[in-house]
C-alpha cells in the first residue's frame, strides 16, 4: 500500500493557490509610527490596521505595561486556575463587565479562543446542564471563521442563514424547534464592515427561546455610547444578548479577549470552557495595558467622533471618484474589485504609491468578491484619506486596464 504523504499534499494545495493568485505571504514590519508603517524597507501609510482608536502606541498603555512587567515579569506562568490569575486580570474583568453592563466578564488569550470556549461550554454534548439532544447553532453566513469552527468543534449541528437576514434565521430555527439553540453573529462583519440586525435577532431569540451570542470584535470600542459596541448602539442589554464576546487587540490596541454576561454564564465558563482552563493566562502586563486602554476608549469620545468624520469623508470622496463601496458605516470600508488577480494588481499599485491596503481574496471572501479592505483609524488625518482616495482611483483604473 502506498499511503499519500501529507506534506506533499499540502505542497500541492499551496501550488494551486499560487496558480490562482490566492497565495498568502508573511511580510515583516520593521517600524510603526502612528499611521505610518515600514514593510520590506518601504515606508507606507497604513490603511490595514484594526487599531481603530489609535491606542496601540499610546504612552499611557506603554507605561502601565512597563510597570506591571517590572512587578510580575513577562508571563503569567500558569493557567488562571493554577496561580496565573493576578490582580491586573481581576481589575480588567471588572472594568469590562461595568463597561458592557453585565454582571461578570472572563478573559481569554485571543478572540478565537473566547469563541471556542464559550461555544464549547454552551453547546458541548454531554456536559452537565447541556440538556437533552444535540444542540443547534444558527449562524450568519458571513460570520468569522472562529465562530464557525467553534460550533463544529463543540459537536453542535451548524446551520447558516442568509447574511443579515433575521427571517432566514427564523426559518432555520423553526425546523429545529426541539433542540437547544444558540444564534451567533458578528456584530460588525470584518470583511464587509456592515452591522448585524441585532434588534431583530434579539427579538427572534426571545420568541424562539434561543440564546443570542454576539462577537463584537470590530464594534467594541468603536460604536455606541461610550464605545459599548454594536450591542450598545442597538440599545440592547444583557437579557437581549446573553453572550457577548469582545476583543482587546483591535479598538483597545492590546491583545486578548473576553466574554461578558450573567454570573451564571461566566461561572459556567470557568468550569467548562477548555480554552480558558487549559491555557496559560494572558500576561499580567498586557492586562494592565488593556485596563488603561478601557479608560481611554470609554471616555475619550473625540476618537470615535473623529472616526465618524473620516468615514464620511472617505465615502463622500469615493462617490465623487466613482469608486464603488459596500454599505458600511464603520471604519472597515471594502472596495470590491472582483477578480483576485485584479485586486492583487490594485494592491501593488497602491503600494507603489506609498499606501498599504491589503487585497483580500478567497477563501477569506467568496469567489468573485476579492477586495481592497480599507481600514480607517483615529491616527489618520483627512489629508491621508484624501491622498488615499486619489491613489485608489489610479490603482483601480491601472489594475483593470492591465487585466
Tens digits of residue pLDDT in 191-244: 999 999 999 999 999 999 999 999 999 999 999 999 999 999 999 999 999 999
Average pLDDT, the chain: 94
User: Is the preceding omega at residue 40 within 30 degrees of 0, hence cis?
Assistant: no
Q: What is the pLDDT of residue 399?
A: 72
Residue 335 predicted with pLDDT over 60: yes
Q: What is the pLDDT of residue 174?
A: 92
At residue 45, the 3 state secondary structure works out as strand
Residue 364 predicted with pLDDT over 60: yes
DSSP summary character for residue 358: P
Q: Are 315 and 369 in contact (CB under 8 A)?
A: no
Q: What is the pLDDT of residue 125?
A: 55
Query: Which pLDDT band, with edges at 50, 70 and 90, does 2 fall under?
Result: confident
The per-type count for the chain, helices as H runs and strands as E runs, is 14, 14
Question: What domains appear along the chain, each with residue ranges and CATH number?
Answer: 28-53+301-402 (3.90.1150.10), 59-299 (3.40.640.10)
43 bridge partner residues: 38
User: Is the preceding omega at residue 363 within 30 degrees of 0, hence cis?
Assistant: yes
For 374, phi then psi, to 5°, come to -80, 130
Mean pLDDT, residues 370-392 taken together: 97
At residue 50, the 3 state secondary structure works out as coil
Residue among 331, 329, 348 at smallest CA distance from 396: 348
Tens digits of residue pLDDT in 121-154: 999 855 444 445 689 999 999 999 999 999 999 9
Q: What is the pLDDT of residue 137?
A: 97
Contacts of 126 (CB under 8 A, 6+ apart): none
Mean pLDDT, residues 263-267 taken together: 98
Amino acid at each position: 500500500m502506498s499511503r499519500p504523504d501529507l506534506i506533499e499534499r499540502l505542497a500541492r494545495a499551496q501550488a494551486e493557490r499560487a496558480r490562482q493568485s490566492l497565495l498568502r505571504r508573511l511580510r515583516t514590519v520593521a517600524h510603526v509610527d502612528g499611521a505610518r508603517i515600514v514593510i520590506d524597507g518601504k515606508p507606507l501609510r497604513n490603511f490595514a490596521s484594526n487599531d481603530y482608536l489609535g491606542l496601540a502606541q499610546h504612552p499611557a498603555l506603554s507605561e502601565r505595561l512597563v510597570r506591571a512587567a517590572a512587578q510580575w515579569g513577562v508571563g503569567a506562568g500558569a493557567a488562571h486556575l493554577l496561580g496565573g490569575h493576578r490582580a491586573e486580570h481581576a481589575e480588567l474583568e471588572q472594568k469590562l463587565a461595568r463597561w458592557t453592563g453585565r454582571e461578570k466578564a472572563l478573559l481569554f488569550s485571543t478572540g478565537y479562543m473566547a469563541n471556542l470556549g464559550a461555544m464549547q461550554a454552551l453547546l458541548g454534548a454531554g456536559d452537565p446542564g447541556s440538556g437533552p439532544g444535540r444542540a443547534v447553532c444558527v449562524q450568519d453566513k458571513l460570520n468569522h471563521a472562529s465562530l464557525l469552527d467553534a460550533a463544529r468543534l463543540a459537536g453542535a449541528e451548524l446551520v447558516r442563514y442568509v447574511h443579515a437576514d433575521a427571517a432566514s434565521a427564523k426559518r432555520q430555527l423553526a425546523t429545529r424547534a426541539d433542540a437547544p439553540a444558540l444564534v451567533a453573529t458578528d456584530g460588525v462583519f470584518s470583511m464587509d464592515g456592515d452591522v448585524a440586525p441585532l434588534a431583530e435577532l434579539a427579538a427572534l431569540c426571545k420568541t424562539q427561546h434561543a440564546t443570542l451570542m454576539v462577537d463584537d470584535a470590530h464594534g467594541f470600542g468603536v460604536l455606541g455610547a461610550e464605545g459599548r459596541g454594536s450591542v450598545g448602539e442597538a440599545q440592547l442589554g444583557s437579557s437581549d444578548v446573553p453572550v457577548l464576546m469582545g476583543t482587546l487587540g483591535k479598538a483597545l490596541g492590546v491583545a486578548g479577549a473576553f466574554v461578558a454576561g450573567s454570573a451564571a454564564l461566566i461561572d459556567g465558563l470557568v468550569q467548562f470552557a477548555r480554552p480558558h482552563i487549559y491555557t496559560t493566562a494572558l500576561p499580567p502586563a498586557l492586562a494592565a495595558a488593556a485596563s488603561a486602554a478601557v479608560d481611554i476608549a470609554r471616555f475619550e469620545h473625540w476618537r470615535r467622533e473623529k472616526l465618524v468624520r473620516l468615514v464620511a469623508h472617505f465615502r463622500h470622496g469615493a462617490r465623487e471618484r466613482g469608486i464603488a463601496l459596500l454599505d458600511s458605516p464603520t471604519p472597515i470600508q471594502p472596495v470590491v474589485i472582483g477578480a483576485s488577480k485584479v485586486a492583487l494588481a490594485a494592491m501593488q499599485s497602491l503600494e507603489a504609491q506609498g499606501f498599504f491596503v491589503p487585497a483580500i481574496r478567497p477563501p477569506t471572501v467568496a469567489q468573485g468578491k476579492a477586495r481592497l479592505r480599507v481600514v480607517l483609524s483615529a491616527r489618520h488625518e483627512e489629508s491621508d484619506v484624501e491622498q488615499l482616495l486619489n491613489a485608489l482611483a489610479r490603482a483601480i483604473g491601472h489594475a483593470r486596464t492591465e487585466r
